A and B are shown apart, each in its own frame.
Chain A
Amino acid sequence: MASKFGLAGGIPERRVRPIWDAVDSRQFKNALKLSTALLSKYPSSPYALALKALILERMGKNEEALSVCLNAKEILCTSDSSVFVDDLTLSTLQIVFQRLDHLDMATSCYDHACTKYPNNLELMMGLFNCYVREYSFVKQQQIAIKMYKTAGEERFLLWAVCSIQLQVCCGNGGEKLFLLAEGLLKKHIASHGLHEPEALSVYISLLEQQCKYGDALEILSGKLGSLMMIEVDKLRLQGKLLAKAGDYAAAVDVFQKVLELCPDDWECFQQYIGCLLEDGSILTKETDPINTRKPIECNNLHISEELFDSRMSDAVNFVQKLMVEANNNSERCLYLAHLEIERQKLLFGKGDADKVVEDLMQYFIRFGHLACFTSDVEMFLEVLDNNKKSEFLKKLVKEYEASRSVSTKALGQSITVFKVQNLIGDVFALPVDELEDIAAQMTEMFCKNLPLSKELDVQESMYGEELLSMACNLLVQLFWRTRDLGYLLEAIMILEFGLFIRRYVWQYKILLVHLYSYWSSLPLAYERYKSLDVKNILLETVSHHILPQMLASPLWADLNDLLTEYLKFMDDHFRESADLTFLAYRHRNYSKVIEFVQFKERLQRSNQYLMAKIESPILQLKQHSDNIDEEECILESLRCGTQFIELSNEIRSKSLTFNEDLKLRPWWTPTSDKNYLLGPFEGVSYCPKENMHNLIKQAEANVLKTVEKRSLLPRMIYLSIYSASASVKEKIEANGSAVVPKLSVELKVLLERYAKILEFPFQDAVELVFGVSSGQKPFEGPNPDIIDWMNFAVFLNAWNLNSHEIRFSDGSSTWNLVNTLLRKYVLEKITSVGPIASSPGNEIPFLVQLVTEPLAWHALIIQSCVRSLLPSGKKKKKSGSVEQLNSQMSHEIQISIESLCGTLEAVTKWLKEQLNKPDDVFEPIFSSIQRNEKGNGPGKVFKMLESSVSQMKDVEVGDRILEALQSWNPADVVRKIVEGRGSLLSEFLKICELKIKSLKALRLQL
């Protein structure tokens, strides 16, 4: 049965080679022809069939491919011993089955082959691989053990051990299974020893997971320990195990050895200090916190004061010794080590803050010019009180001024001074004009130092690039304080200038993405985002800069691109991840096996992934909401929304992961659902870093709620359409089918759930929307909440059309309720958006959402009613009373259409006014940064930029920079903002106009 020389799947290779070649060169038609010919010669060859299936699948003929595959499977699984079975056939079939989403069938083919030819390693490996693809850890283990018994090879035993570890880490296996794995390994080692370094790692990790540190240490220092080739890695592991075992004294010795070998290893130094203080918490640090910021640890040490003193003096001596030995001054670790010792003393209550300041100064003198200085010392500044912090800053300024010179080092130092000032929070307390001065100074400094970069390649970072980001941060703060848009424009201006000089600075681009988004120039924000070239895994960590804004925008085509690309990346990864896991198995990198499976799970539970999965169909529904027939097709493809209901049910039991890298977000919007600029200035005591942790937790809780809520939408839309049409039909066919009440009940249940997510009992929710629409109750929630309530009202009306359960005291209908609410909020927001020249237009996303979601769903419900009122084909003879009822309904619908059209026309009128006069807008915006005569308000930074640019044109800055300086035109920046905003509004206008058109067409039908 095994592949014979020159045979492929039992067929002479020369006969199949042309098919392979045709497939490889993507000539599928030709390949199919050749494969049909081959099949006529070998009609019952599974391999020939598998090849045909493969070609069909590549041609997109999935059903045919599946049927051919099943045919091959049937032949393979007969008991006929003349059927040729080999791994090539099976793996070819496997590929097709996998692409057709039928992993189980591939597994069953392999399973059958393994039974038919027991002890065939190649087939067993294939079967193992099938279980890896299915994530069936128990079966993986069983087949691996079988292979181990057959071949006696160490690697198969480790495949089994890994499969056991996976059962515990990623499956539902209990920890007792570790004992089994340990037993297997012990037995093997006793008779055969171990030969692979990774096998040793697995063994140690297995013991570590069971807290058998002593055993692990014994093995590491025994004969097997020699498998670890890198000495320092072995020592690190030893130190960690000793500390975990509570033998801190021995751990200290080991960590000292590591530091002697790698004096710059900061993590090791921290472990060393932790062990000196007999504090094991450093070893159990949170695994990979992307965003979590550890608050200052409060020392809860159990050691006595005397012991503390003597241990710290040991540490000081040890660091001294290392410093003498180290001949390389560029290693920061040892200098920071001193600071860390002083910090520990302060935390213990025996420290000297002056000493910390002194050490910080020493560190500044040596490393103050480095871009990482501030992030290096952040944790040490945190332990100082405000007075000491200010004292440090003063010393810093003095020191820096004393050594002032024109050099890259001096520039680096001055940037550090600015950064420290920002970190300490001092800038928040400064008066407006001082802040302006600092921002202007930064801008000037950037320009004046351009000559330093004259020799640099355009690809290389320039000196002082950070200055413009920092100046931007100050200007945004000035805007927050004063609400003067001029500051915002200055912020944009300097960043655009920076990009004009060197177009690659991603930090500027991210800031601009947020500034343009805020200023309703979303197309421009998206352009800047695209220039970041975010792809592959960065889609998971970086798209949060743009995705939330796009979700509430009329830029549907771009949003669709974003969602599609992201979902494709994630789904591709989920598809290929198991094969890569198997690759790790094959190359005996067992620790990676577990890592890969855990990583896939982490991505699968990504909140952003879930969000995209629900937002992508909602987008489709929005795009087709003007045409009920198309909408119904979409709903059908979404299983009428039921799959999302399942998602919504599960969401609370899922522990979602948050993989967005929030560190790169600007200060004013630390998470995507928080933007300080949307609220009033929070005063000088405001310090965003302090509450970062809470903000993240809050954002995470909100996401959960949002996903739960949004996943109800498709089903509610489906049920509402149904309910609306049933409300008409019911009157026509006096006795409707039994399905209708069932669906109506379901809609009620979902409405109750929706209300519950909004933290209201159903009845109270109904009263609230009624109260708001009749003007009796105010509703002052944030914008997203209003959208939710609107959706609730719209679906409530749809449900009520059929159930007639809600009757308001004033006799008004739920139709009226929805009409009024929609009009009320649209008009309110149009008024508050304000003229484009003087307002950032923060209400525009809300207006867009209002029109494209609740209003659109309401229009759909109207379409559904109208369609049922006017059945195509022969009309049934209606009784008088039914006709009367229908004409009443038709009247309500006409009013509703009138009202919606009126509401939408108010929007289009406003949009046209905004769009009509771009030139009128340009002037006031641009003049907002031309310094006024009184000399106050924005403009100082811009003026500084202008004068610096003209001065630098006469200085030697290199051809490239000179050319940029000469062609720089600030008016272009303003023009682009106006255009960007214009194209956003035009897109919105198009959507509104289409809606009006479709509603008017509907009215004509009545």
Chain B
Amino acid sequence: MTTIRRFCCNDLLRFASVNLDHLTETFNMSFYMTYLARWPDYFHVAEAPGNRIMGYIMGKVEGQGESWHGHVTAVTVAPEYRRQQLAKKLMNLLEEISDKIDKAYFVDLFVRASNTPAIKMYEKLGYVVYRRVLRYYSGEEDGLDMRKALSRDVEKKSMIPLKRPVTPDELEYD
């Protein structure tokens, strides 16, 4: 019931029912298009019959040496299609591409420290809180950097949590 395929520009015109949700950010065009132009394999959409958009995931791959990793920038599911493990499917797809195609060491993501439901979901998917980023969201709320090791990181070194929190300017990437 779910067709997962690469996201394309025209999908931007059809994702209103997903993006009107207040937790889903609608970025500016250059943001989406930069992702499409650079990491098209990390931007997928799930469709239901009648071409209804169920949800989508966008991400990228970046880093050097052992910190070469996949990154989940956004994952979201329309209210109508929640509680069906769609986010899990989309996450698995991104993990697989990071693992098999780009041979990354891990996948990471940032989440608001207050977003308990999301944190719980990511934990179920095998992510652990790697570190806390102080005042990451608009200089107010802390963010959690969560990680999951991929097959290349045999000893799962990338997931060993840091002891102290970091500040946004200590982050390696945007």
Contacts and interface: CB of A to CB of B under 8 A. Distances in A.
B84 interface: yes
Contact of A599 (B5, B9, B30, B84): B9
Interface string A506-535: 100000000000000000000000001111
B3 interface: yes
A578 B81 CA distance: 35
Given A583-B37, A587-B37, A589-B38, A268 B3 contact: yes
Given A376-B48, A459-B23, A533-B22, A589 B40 contact: yes
B9 to A, nearest CB: 4
A371 B79 contact: yes
Contact of A336 (B33, B49, B79, B116): B49
Contacts of A664: 16-17, 20
Interface stretch (A185-193, A286-294, A385-393, A610-618): A286-294
A149 B10 CA distance: 35
Contact of B10 (A288, A461, A538, A583): A288
A288 B14 contact: yes
Interface stretch (A326-334, A353-361, A914-922): A326-334
B103 to A, nearest CB: 11
Contacts of B22: 459, 504, 506, 533
Contacts of B20: 506, 532, 534, 538, 542, 664
A375 interface: yes
A537 B101 contact: no
Interface residues of B, number: 50
A536 B27 contact: yes
A267 B9 CA distance: 19
Interface in A388-432: none
Contacts of A584: 36-37
B100 interface: yes
Interface in A656-677: 659, 661, 663-664
Interface in A249-284: 262, 264-268
A460 interface: yes
Contacts of B1: 264, 266, 331-333, 336, 376
Given A267-B3, A661-B13, A288 B51 contact: yes
A287 B9 CA distance: 12
Interface in B70-96: 79-85
Interface string B96-118: 01001100000000000001110
A580 interface: yes
B80 A541 contact: no
Contacts of A577: 29, 33
A378 B5 CA distance: 23
B47 interface: yes
A266 B81 CA distance: 15
Interface in B16-62: 16-17, 19-23, 26-30, 32-34, 36-38, 40, 47-52
Contact of B29 (A230, A537, A659): A537
Q: Which DSSP category, helix, strand, loop or mixed, fits chain B's interface?
A: helix
A661 B115 contact: no
A508 to B, nearest CB: 11
A371 B17 CA distance: 14
Contact of B3 (A266, A287, A372, A379): A266
A637 to B, nearest CB: 28
B12 interface: yes
Interface in A360-388: 370-372, 375-376, 378-379
A465 B81 CA distance: 14
Contacts of A332: 1
B81 A288 contact: no
A288 B10 CA distance: 7
A596 B33 contact: yes
B16 A661 contact: yes
Interface string A216-252: 0000000000000110000000000000000000000
Contacts of A461: 79, 82
A506 B17 CA distance: 9
A592 B48 contact: no
Interface in A536-590: 536-538, 540-542, 569, 572-573, 576-577, 580-581, 583-584, 587, 589
A368 B29 CA distance: 38
Contacts of B160: none
A598 B12 CA distance: 13
A591 to B, nearest CB: 8
Contacts of A460: 117
A462 to B, nearest CB: 10
A268 B30 CA distance: 32
A457 interface: yes
B127 to A, nearest CB: 19
Contact of B26 (A537, A580, A587): A537
A595 interface: yes
A516 to B, nearest CB: 18
A538 B2 contact: no
Contacts of B9: 595-596, 598-599
A576 B34 CA distance: 11
Interface in B118-137: none
A265 B28 contact: no
A576 B30 CA distance: 7
Interface string A17-48: 00000000000000000000000000000000
A596 B21 CA distance: 26
Interface in B131-156: none
Contacts of A595: 8-9, 36
A663 B78 CA distance: 14
A583 B37 CA distance: 6
A595 B33 CA distance: 10
A538 B20 CA distance: 9
A584 B43 CA distance: 14
B29 A576 contact: yes
A583 B38 contact: yes
Contact of B50 (A287, A331, A378, A465): A378
A370 B84 contact: yes
A263 to B, nearest CB: 10
Nearest to B112: A459
Nearest to B101: A229
Contact of A542 (B4, B16, B29): B16
A656 to B, nearest CB: 14
B85 A330 contact: yes
A506 B80 contact: no
A671 B41 CA distance: 36
A405 B16 CA distance: 35
Contact of B19 (A229, A504, A538): A538
B81 to A, nearest CB: 6
Interface-centre pick from B13, B50, B83 (highest chain A CB count, 10 A):
B13
A459 B117 CA distance: 9
A292 to B, nearest CB: 9
B7 to A, nearest CB: 10
A769 to B, nearest CB: 42
Contacts of A538: 16, 19-20, 26
Nearest to B30: A576
Contacts of A573: 29
Contact of A372 (B14, B26, B80, B85): B80
B32 to A, nearest CB: 8
Given A538-B16, A589-B38, A459 B115 contact: yes
27 contacts: A230-B101, A265-B4, A266-B47, A267-B47, A268-B3, A288-B11, A288-B14, A336-B1, A375-B50, A376-B1, A459-B117, A533-B26, A535-B26, A536-B26, A536-B29, A537-B12, A538-B16, A541-B16, A572-B28, A580-B29, A584-B37, A589-B40, A591-B40, A596-B36, A661-B14, A661-B17, A664-B16
Q: When A and B form their complex, which 5 residue pairs have the shortest distance between CB atoms, in order from nearest?
A: A332-B1, A599-B9, A584-B37, A267-B3, A506-B20
Given A536-B29, A589-B36, 15 more contacts: A264-B1, A265-B3, A267-B47, A336-B49, A371-B79, A372-B48, A461-B79, A504-B21, A536-B28, A538-B19, A538-B20, A541-B14, A572-B28, A583-B38, A661-B16
